[in-house]
Structure 1
Amino acid sequence: MLLRSSPLSPPLSRNPKPFPLPLRTHLPISPSLRSTPLVSSLSSRGLATPSSSGSPVVAEAVIGSGNGEDEEGEEEPKYVEVGYISSAHGLRGEVRVMPSTDFPELRFAKPGKRWLRTRAAGKELIKEVELTGGRGHPGQKSWIISFSGIDTVEEARQIVGSSLLVTVRDRPELEEGEFYTRDLVGMRVILKETGKLVGTVANVFNYGASDLLHVMLHSAEERPHQSNLLDQDDSSSAPHIWIPFVEAIVPDVDADRREMQITPPKGLLELNLRCDVRSKKERRQMEWKERRKLQQRLVATKKILAELDQKHILEGLRIGEKNQKTSLAKQLTSIDFRLFQQAIQNIKNPFISYSLSEYINGNSSALLKNPMRISHQCLISGESEGNNNLNYELRKVGLQLLRNSKVAIILVRHEEDDVERGSETDDVRVESAIIQFKNLFSNLNIFLKEEENNATVPFILVSPAREIEPYKECLVDNDYFGLNSQKVWVLEEEKLPIVNISPVENSHEILLKSPWEILQAPIGPGGIFSLLSSHKIIDALNEFGVEYVQICSLDNRTALGHPLFFGFVSSRGADVGIKLSTSCKTDDNFDMVISMKHVNKMSKEINRLRFRALPEQHVHVHVQQVKDEWITVHPEKPNSYRLHCPIYSILNPCSLDNVCVMEVDE
């Protein structure tokens, strides 16, 4: 098999080490590794491919001499495998050969010396034979050949299974820019732009339009989106990627140095790379364990629903397709019933409803007796009146916390942010949110880079499901804005089922969009601690040694990671610091710093949270079962509650003496 790239600068090495190559007609590739997606993707980019008329590469595998020595005493392979004898043919001693060479006429039609490699009693034997002639058999993609001294079918059958060899010196000379397959195998693959090692060519395959390099990746640092380090010598388990052997992607091949430089288009190295490197057996075992865990959780969920008198949502598990029932089971087991029970209890026994500003005003005598007041311009710019200014000292304290990685940031982008922009499309809303997201990080980077600070601040983003991927792409495209990618989480916001407004006292049924889909709504920023606990992020923050956590909404007024805010809360020894804006006092926009001590307390005292039953502003069309028949209900007016946990719920367990306020004048 011939491969063509750009012309070689140095001459091609003709003495490669032994490396067995599989037969061209029996490519050892599983269907999941075939390169159709890769080729189609590259074609759409308009990349050049080798001419199909040039036969750019020869597939002849080099093997050892059998006795471990060569004729000249050098470490040089002696023979080249050109075919495999698959069966006897006819009654006159002819045999059928499956070729593994791009020179079949030269190897099978021209009489002369050849060698047969066989195995007997566990040993490899190579013996010389005389080829007397041969002819092609196009229908079978094979050749019919005959040897001197083999004249009967019985004698022919004795050599079936043998490999047909020629000597290395008999390999034809190639034109400039052409390579033997074996000469490419083992070459290092290097990114031309950065000089980084990508991996090693493990094999070369021809797919008609072009040849593909099967490259085994090296250490985890060089693998796109791979974090688990594998044994570099274990080629069977190490991840592989496909790289088209075309001049546009492989412009330089250095045969003497045994390396090639590549200029891949963006995304090529990630394409066709299987993220899960476990074996098929391991993946099946894991899938079985996950199904078993789902069933176990479902059993517990059924008991809870029976206790809550919500058994009607289980009917979908008895009807429908398998995927529908599985979907419903996953929805049921994902519900946080601690929060749901707490929310239903609050509906039955409602508490006095406060907004964040009402909470501050209601406790102003304690909270506002000694607040910190600062202008928005001074907060953003970091200006101070001199090194002796109190703001300067607090800022130094905050910078020290940042420098020592003692802080974490939780940014919340919740559905209520879209209420004021109700006329905008989803795409416009997401684009606007991404712009705000980038602007906040531009200010954070300024703080992180001060005084050559190399802190790694843990960052958690909580977002609606439809915006998860755009935020992930933004983080990757901007190299995580300088953050440690191992300390970045993007989570979908917590949801709870929507319940009906029932004329029956203390009876609120969960509404269903269909027998297999539960109507749900975000619970609001107050449920952030339950979300963090379920993903074990609170445990991780404790392990990182975090002392303070900033929880803020995605808003232009937010001071993301501001050292002055952290320093202020730390100097007051407070558990909660609240930043209030004089121009915006709604619960939708919030910015708070909370001590890890209070975070740990809230994660264990979920029952201290307070929920409100907010009447939905629109009608929910839903289904319900009436006498074993599912009917669609079209209410004439809003008929449901959304269970909402406001941000000030986290203040409920906190003493007023442990709360401080920063007032920002705009």
Structure 2
Amino acid sequence: MLLRTSSLLCSSTSVTFTPIQLFNPNISPHFQTLELSRPLSALCRARCHFSFVGARGKSSFFIRATATQEVVETSSNSELDLVEVGFLSGVHGLQGEICIKPNTDFPDLRFSKPGRRWLKQQLMGQEKIEEVELVEGRPHPAQKSWILKFRGLDDVDQVRQLVGATLLAEEDDRPELDEGEFYSRDLIGMRVLLKETGQLVGTVDNVFDNGGNDLLHVLLDSSSMEVCNGNPKTNQLVWIPFVDAIVPDVDLERKEMYITPPKGLLEVNMRADDRSKKERRQLEWKERKKQQKRLLAAKKKLCELEQKHVFDGLRFGEKSQRNLLAENIVQVNSTLLQKALQSIENPSKKRWNVTEEINALRARVSECNLSIPRECLGLDASKEKMGDNFTFLQLGKSLFSEGKVSVCLVLSDHENEQSEGENGAVSYLLTLLDDEQRFPKEEERACVPLVVVSPEHAIEALQKLFQDNDHFGFDSEKIWFLKEETLPVVCSSPLEPKKHKILMKSPWEILKSPVGSGGVLSILASHGVTDSLSSLGIDYLQVHSIESKPQEDLQHYISPMLAGLVSAKEAEIGIQVAGDSEVKNLEMVFSVKFLKRLKGKIVFEAVMKMNSHVQKVEKEWIELVPSEPNSFEFRSDIYRVLSECSSSSAKICLMNITV
């Protein structure tokens, strides 16, 4: 009912009236037909004395609208068109003065200028209108109202009978608008079209003052607007900001306006489904209950690990802060944390070094070892240059084209949180994807599932990058954007050597650190990606790390040759390394069967680090800044799977890149 009333704000339907005797009825202050009397400039949206509907100024994208409403009131027997400008709210003083609550953009014009006015009241369900003469009026700032004096009404008893009546004025008695300006009610019913194509979007149903800017409520044309399932929708209303950048052209004579909406504007406030409000509320309630259960389960697991202090922030703070802490608690992988804590109590007796492991593989005499010149890493390398190794490249290309290989890109960009900047990993990834010498061609990517593992701060930039570039040829249904695996940082206290409490970045945020490349295996398993790849018929997962500032740029080749080598030798793992240097980049191929056998198992190493944090001391939160290592961060290297290969006799291929 309220929405229907609002939708009539700008009506200008004309009727006429015949003056009749004024009675003393029970009065209803509700308006039937409303008019926004705010003028609007299509060319200049500057704020002006009469409060425009829109002030589309060149200095600001948004508009400032402060106008109120006037009601169009007309009668059947006269040519006068009237507008409601306010209602009489109470008696003022003892001299027959009365207060009025304005409902107009022009209070000075309506209330201070003497002359004819009309009062509308109701008696026994019928409206009665009588002409009166306004003698004077003055503002009453404290009450946000005006004080009026009518001729012939000189005592309190007379004016008390008028309380609740509506004051009317002539509609034509209003300021003339400058060229390019018009009243908001003139916009109602206008056809809205796309400027670029001329396609009909809908018609303006209403205009609303949103405080910061005016909004057009547009009823979409059902024949031209369709939802995602292809079925036309009816009675769909969307909001369109009335600003020059979006509504550049308004044709008052043709009753048309042309819009240039940003991508997604028309879809963003459309209801995605036809479920009733009750059904949507039930779903929201179920989702809240599900989140509460997840939080309770996460709290129970942390209690078992003696980490109750993490919950202190749930007892105070803003709702958003408490929600942030609840989200942090749910995100803790308690199983991994428990395993990581064991690495403190039971550190590995044998020092592990990835370079030593790789050198041991280099030293072996095996058909699974392959040396390739760097110049042969390009996807267009010729058979003359590659010799017998050309068959591995051809086999790898065949596996990619048949949809048997998935690519996993691991972004590491912790030092530069502006990942989309010139030196960020996201920017470098864009360069890599556009280089068809180092990455499969765009037309060949549709059958290649893609997994992108990234720091949390880069996820949004990555998703936007792919959306803006049509997903670079990949199937959008076969792309996973995953946040890298992180674990809480725990304290190292000589006073309590066996108690390792989670450190807090703030009362509502857990201090976390990335696990490292080994976390890729865990994140793939926990999100069910490994199982999904298996169900898609994928045989191999090719994993590459993408650094924000690679020391050897040419190492970032997503070459099918490594997958071809692993397939040809029927191996479980393939590793690509550069010369005799230390292993710095992650270049590996896993068989999906081997990944499923691992089930996300990773080995942790606890590393002493200095970390500032907050701590609750006697009901007060204090910040602690250490001068020496005070905490453990947990690391895991993906190359530790080589130990699993040794115990399970899994076959490993090594592709050594030579200068």
Instruction: Report matched runs for 1:230-245 at 5 Å.
Output: 233=235, 235=237, 240=239, 242-244=241-243
| AA partner of residue 453 (structure 2) | V
Is 1:314 aligned to residue 308 of structure 2? yes
Is 1:610 aligned to residue 609 of structure 2? no
Aligned to 1:3: none
511-520 or 331-340: which moved more? Answer: 511-520
Aligned to 1:213: 215
Q: For the Cα contact (< 8 Å) 1:60–1:181, is it kept in 2? A: no
Instruction: Report matched runs for 1:232-381 at 5 Å.
Output: 233=235, 235=237, 240=239, 242-244=241-243, 246=244, 250-255=247-252, 258-262=255-259, 289=289, 292-293=292-293, 296-305=296-305, 311=306, 313-315=307-309, 317=311, 322-323=316-317, 331-346=328-343, 348=346, 350=348, 352=350, 354-362=352-360, 368-371=366-369, 373-381=371-379
| AA partner of residue 589 (structure 1) | N
Aligned counterparts of 2:209 and 2:620: Cα–Cα separation in 1: 59
Q: For the Cα contact (< 8 Å) 1:524–1:646, is it kept in 2? A: yes
Aligned to 1:5: none
Instruction: Report matched runs for 1:627-642 at 5 Å.
Output: 638=629, 641-642=632-633
Select which of 578, 581, 602 maps to 1:581: 578
Q: Displacement, 1:394?
A: 2.4
Aligned counterparts of 1:130 and 1:64: Cα–Cα separation in 2: 13
Aligned counterparts of 2:617 and 2:112: Cα–Cα separation in 1: 80
Please list every run of 5 or more consecutive structure 1 residues that lacks an aligned counterpart in the other structure. 1-12, 26-38, 72-77, 306-310, 419-424
In structure 2, relative to structure 1, the CA distance for the partners of 1:569 and 1:562 (3 Å cut) is same
Is 1:432 aligned to residue 418 of structure 2? no
- Structure 1 SS opposite 2:424: helix
Q: For the Cα contact (< 8 Å) 1:88–1:153, is it kept in 2? A: no
Aligned counterparts of 1:449 and 1:200: Cα–Cα separation in 2: 45
| AA partner of residue 99 (structure 1) | N
Select which of 500, 506, 528 maps to 1:509: 500
| AA partner of residue 587 (structure 2) | D
- Structure 2 SS opposite 1:409: strand
- Structure 2 SS opposite 1:589: coil
547-556 or 569-578: which moved more? Answer: 569-578
Aligned to 1:592: 588
Select which of 81, 102, 106 maps to 1:98: 102
Aligned to 1:160: 164
Q: For the Cα contact (< 8 Å) 1:611–1:644, is it kept in 2? A: yes
Is 1:46 aligned to residue 66 of structure 2? no
Aligned to 2:85: 83
| AA partner of residue 592 (structure 1) | M
Question: TM-score by structure 2 length?
Answer: 0.64
Select which of 529, 537, 560 maps to 2:521: 529
Question: TM-score by structure 1 length?
Answer: 0.64
Aligned counterparts of 1:578 and 1:109: Cα–Cα separation in 2: 89
376-385 or 538-547: which moved more? Answer: 538-547
Aligned to 1:400: 401
Aligned to 1:74: none
Please list every run of 5 or more consecutive structure 2 residues that lacks an aligned counterpart in the other structure. 1-10, 15-31, 39-51, 548-552
Q: For the Cα contact (< 8 Å) 1:95–1:145, is it kept in 2? A: no
- Structure 1 SS opposite 2:434: helix
Q: For the Cα contact (< 8 Å) 1:81–1:165, is it kept in 2? A: yes
- Structure 2 SS opposite 1:297: helix
In structure 2, relative to structure 1, the CA distance for the partners of 1:322 and 1:105 (3 Å cut) is closer
Q: Displacement, 1:552?
A: 1.5
Q: Displacement, 1:86?
A: 4.1
Cα distance per residue 1:250-299 (max 9 Å; x no partner): 431134554433568x89969x9999999998999689648844651354
Aligned to 1:178: 181
Cα distance per residue 1:387-425 (max 9 Å; x no partner): 995256325414414xx5x6543322347x86xxxxxx8
Q: Displacement, 1:184?
A: 1.8
Aligned counterparts of 2:201 and 2:438: Cα–Cα separation in 1: 33
Aligned counterparts of 2:258 and 2:538: Cα–Cα separation in 1: 44
Select which of 417, 432, 452 maps to 1:461: 452
| AA partner of residue 98 (structure 1) | P
| AA partner of residue 82 (structure 1) | E
Q: Displacement, 1:500?
A: 3.3
In structure 2, relative to structure 1, the CA distance for the partners of 1:98 and 1:581 (3 Å cut) is same
Q: For the Cα contact (< 8 Å) 2:446–2:475, is it kept in 1? A: no
Q: Displacement, 1:61?
A: 5.8
In structure 2, relative to structure 1, the CA distance for the partners of 1:329 and 1:183 (3 Å cut) is closer
Aligned counterparts of 1:88 and 1:630: Cα–Cα separation in 2: 54
| AA partner of residue 575 (structure 2) | I
Aligned counterparts of 1:97 and 1:633: Cα–Cα separation in 2: 58
Q: Displacement, 1:627?
A: 12
Q: For the Cα contact (< 8 Å) 1:414–1:525, is it kept in 2? A: no
Question: Which structure is richer in relative contact order (CA contacts within 8 A, separation 6 or more)?
Answer: 1
Identity of aligned residues (%): 27
Q: Displacement, 1:646?
A: 0.8
Is 1:491 aligned to residue 483 of structure 2? yes
- Structure 2 SS opposite 1:343: helix
Q: Displacement, 1:594?
A: 3.0
Q: For the Cα contact (< 8 Å) 2:249–2:257, is it kept in 1? A: yes
Q: Displacement, 1:336?
A: 1.8
Cα distance per residue 1:574-607 (max 9 Å; x no partner): 5433323325441x411223344444443xx34x
- Structure 1 SS opposite 2:639: helix
- Structure 1 SS opposite 2:304: helix
| AA partner of residue 253 (structure 1) | V
Aligned counterparts of 2:461 and 2:483: Cα–Cα separation in 1: 12
| AA partner of residue 314 (structure 1) | K
Query: RMSD over aligned Cα, in angstroms?
Result: 6.3
In structure 2, relative to structure 1, the CA distance for the partners of 1:349 and 1:241 (3 Å cut) is same
Aligned to 1:9: none
Q: For the Cα contact (< 8 Å) 1:253–1:260, is it kept in 2? A: yes
Aligned counterparts of 1:86 and 1:628: Cα–Cα separation in 2: 56
